[in-house]
Amino acid sequence: MTKLLVLGLLDDGPKSGYDIQQKLSEADAERWGGVLVGSIYHALKKLEQEKYIKLAGVEQTGHRQKAVYQITEQGRIYLQSLIQESLSSVSALYPTTLYSGLSLLEKIPREAAFHALEMQKQLLEKEYQALKQGELQNEQEQQEIPPLSKITIENMFLILQQQQLFVEKILEILEDKT
């Protein structure tokens, strides 16, 4: 995903690694795109080696220099293939870590399982609130949210709500057995 998003941003115009990092941070890409902000420089290096981007220049900012990159024609073609691949790949994600733990639930004391699932519930609520905060921030800044982004955000809320309901049902089962 990192290469896809980096190329997508560079397709809008030349940028430094720092600029890309800032844009992805502002967009909360770590949450919705699985992009670790620290992986951007590695992606830039790889994309440059593969001739998908090239150095457009170097900017002097204070005592530092920033390399500014631009996408190549080969990079635009690669970007299109990455977009098509991401749109056609299976996107159903399962909470595999949680499922694995549930499959072995009987191997730990019920109280420990209950406590761990309560923590899971709190983490899901924290994630939900973080998403809600981003939505409120966009509203306060009166940013126009494109229709595709709106339904993507709605889907993220629905996924989190479904996950919260799932954990609550498991907790109810554990309560009934005690």
Tens of pLDDT, residue by residue over 78-91, are 999 999 999 898 87
What is the DSSP secondary structure assignment for residue 13, as one 8-state letter? Answer: S
* Strand ordering across the sheet containing 64-71: 15-16, 64-71, 53-61
- Indicate yes or no: pTM above 0.75: no
Q: What is the pLDDT of residue 139?
A: 79
Residue with tokens 């691949």: 85
Query: Cα(99)–Cα(77) distance, rounded to whole angstroms?
Result: 39
| Residues 103 and 170: beta-carbon distance below 8 Å | no
The pLDDT tens digits for 102-149 are 999 999 999 999 999 999 999 999 999 988 988 888 778 777 888 988
User: Distances in Å between the alpha carbon of 118 and those of 38, 75, 112, 132, 148?
Assistant: 31, 46, 10, 21, 34
Q: What is the pLDDT of residue 178?
A: 59
The pLDDT tens digits for 19-59 are 999 998 888 888 778 888 788 999 999 999 999 999 999 98
For helices 2-11 and 17-26, the axis angle rounded to 10 degrees is 110
**2-88 carries CATH number 1.10.10.10:** yes
Question: Which amino acid type is present at position 10?
Answer: L
The pLDDT tens digits for 9-23 are 999 999 999 999 999
Q: Which two tokens stand for residue 87?
A: 């749109």
Which of these, 151, 154, 148, lies nearest to 132 by C-alpha position? Answer: 154
